[in-house]
Structure 1
Amino acid sequence: MKAPGPSPAEPARAGDDEPIGVTLRRLRKARRMSGREVAAAVGLSQSTVSRIERGIGSPDLGDIHKIARVVGADDRQTQELIRQAQRLHDRITEWRPTSDSLADRQVSVAEWEARAQTILDFQPTVLPGLLQISPYAKAVLRLFQSLARIPAERLTEAAVLAAVSARVQRQQVIADRSKTFSFVIMESVLKNAPCPPVEMLAQIHHLREIATGHENVSLTVIPDGRPMTIPALHGFTLFDRDVILIDVYNTGLLSRGREDIEIYHRIFGMNLDCAEPIAPYLDRYQALYIDALTARR
């Protein structure tokens, strides 16, 4: 005879091998709570709760603690979940948002940006998302959409436009003067032109406004040909000393491990030491794009 399972009132204890998300989902269902109800109770988005339950990415320790309490975990269960989450933090994992939506991916990044007080962003090939105007963002998203693990039927023009809107909306966080932002880009970023000269001129104007109009923003450039202590292998973003998101072609790599974060903080500092104020480079590339625009007429 099959042994009876746990009653809803008395959920089974989490075993050491049971994934964090499985435990939290089981406890939530035992309480007859929906994911939306849990999200509202702990002040998170429903997509964040869903990602944690599905084991996607490396969950925030504070989020695990809050969700565990809301779904009825006792002290022992909560501490075990925290220990499991801490172990996950010590390794780099692939970041896969729970939704196939291009726009929802932007929302996921916006959540990290909203929580962080200091954001450090290094990019060797394209501008950071927080600095892109709509035409530039649209061009970049189109370039990479063919590599995204998203069903072809969802890679529509409407989906790209929704993602562009979500990416631009993220930029509201720059207006929060309690936060600080440091962007370091390679000069090649200004040279690379994913959109026509007239739109690149608008992009350069926007960069100038950001650089001069926001005291909480530092925007610097590593000149072409300048020797670097560490080669620029890829872009990355640090959110405080809590999370690092590393850019690769078709996805992102996520880590909350202290050693990973410390290493990338050191690399960012080395890159920053090689960088110069952006203003002269904006002047130079503004002139180049004006010449390119004139030559087309």
Structure 2
Amino acid sequence: MDGAGGIGGRRQRLALELRRLRDQAGVTGRELAQEVGISQSKVSRIESGTAMPSVPEVRKWTLAVGAPRETGERLIELTEAAHQEVQTWRTALQEQGHFQERLRDRELRSHLVRNLQTAVVPGLLQTAEYARRVFALFELPYTDDDLSAAVAARLRRQLALYEEDRRFDFLICEGALRWRPGPARVLAAQLDRISSLSTLDNISIGIVPADAEAIALPLHGFVMYEGDDEGCETFVEVETTHARVVAARSEEVALYDKQWRRLSDVAIFDDEARAFLAALITEVRGGSR
């Protein structure tokens, strides 16, 4: 854990430093937004610590306010470190409201979201009942009201799937499709929904069969956010049992991109994927209990 507030400390220090530099320079938020090439609202979110600036944005920011070279280099290093920061689920919920709303904001600001899952159906594809059972299994202090709010927020996120100007690519390992957080009927309905969503033009759903020859080792799922409409760089989020990790360095993003492409090579799509799902639904219903 880092100092100055522990997890999230680097982000908050960065926010305070950037705000201080702007105030000292006498530059308004509107003027700075024009210089950096972002919206004025994003300037406010960066300064409050609710949005993370990219390295290029911080570089333009320090130039716009006339910060010394040494200060700029130090803030670049702080930005890179903040992008590597690990945030616990408990902290994420406490600091940002419900975590699902944060995910929704990121999805709405991205033109392409690539989602690989190895153990569970991606949240954007989940039915309400499947989602409720998944949340109920989390090692989090959910009250009944929290659980209902989590499910409702996850379903609101799914509205983005129907916006034709956004693209969502999914890769799902067979094991994730077979994992059952409830009775067979819940899983069968979930598989049917995946098949239905795969027909949308802006959605690609690939299935990595368990009997395909392994050409990559996906130790965990991840989500890649690309093409933020405010100019942010591509970054990857990895969910672990205790926290989420953000990877934003180009060499790290490249590792995930490479793994995505390798798994795509052995995945099945479109009609072949839907036939696979239909057979799995039949199997699940046949062995229901």
Class of the TM-score when normalised by the shorter of the 2 chains: 0.7 to 0.9
Percent identity of equivalent pairs: 22
Q: Which of 225, 242, 247 is the equivalent residue of 1:250? A: 242
> 1:268-283 to 2 correspondence within 5 Å?
268-277=260-269, 278-283=273-278
- Whichever residue aligns with residue 66 of structure 2, its letter is D
Give the structure 1 partner of residue 183 of structure 2.
196
Show structure 2 runs of 5+ residues with no match.
Answer: 1-11, 26-38, 227-232
Matched, 1:261 2:247: no
- Whichever residue aligns with residue 252 of structure 1, its letter is R
Q: Which of 40, 43, 47 is the equivalent residue of 1:42? A: 40
Give the structure 1 partner of residue 153 of structure 2.
166
User: Please, what TM-score do these two structures have when normalized by structure 1?
Assistant: 0.73
| Contact 2:171-2:267 at 8 Å conserved across structures | yes
The alignment partner of 1:119 has SS state of strand
Give the structure 1 partner of residue 9 of structure 2.
none
Aligned length in residues: 257
Change (3 A) 1:137 1:162: same
Give the structure 2 partner of residue 8 of structure 1.
none
Post-superposition Cα deviations, 1:123-165, rounded to whole Å, max 9, x if no partner, equal 1110111111111111111112x2x4xxx4xx20110110111
| Contact 1:64-1:82 at 8 Å conserved across structures | no
Matched, 1:185 2:202: no
Question: What do you get for the CA RMSD once the two structures are aligned?
Answer: 3.6
Change (3 A) 1:84 1:190: same
Change (3 A) 1:104 1:45: farther
- Whichever residue aligns with residue 195 of structure 1, its letter is G
Give the structure 2 partner of residue 92 of structure 1.
84
| Contact 2:115-2:222 at 8 Å conserved across structures | yes
User: Please, what TM-score do these two structures have when normalized by structure 2?
Assistant: 0.75
Quick check: which has more Rg, 1 or 2?
A: 1
Change (3 A) 1:159 1:227: same
Distance 2:22 2:97 in 1: 27
| Contact 2:54-2:79 at 8 Å conserved across structures | no
- Whichever residue aligns with residue 130 of structure 1, its letter is L
Change (3 A) 1:192 1:107: same
Give the structure 1 partner of residue 65 of structure 2.
74
1:108 CA displacement: 1.2
Give the structure 2 partner of residue 292 of structure 1.
287
- Whichever residue aligns with residue 239 of structure 2, its letter is D
1:119 CA displacement: 1.2
The alignment partner of 2:219 has SS state of coil
Change (3 A) 1:188 1:20: same
> 1:147-166 to 2 correspondence within 5 Å?
148=140, 152=141, 155-166=142-153
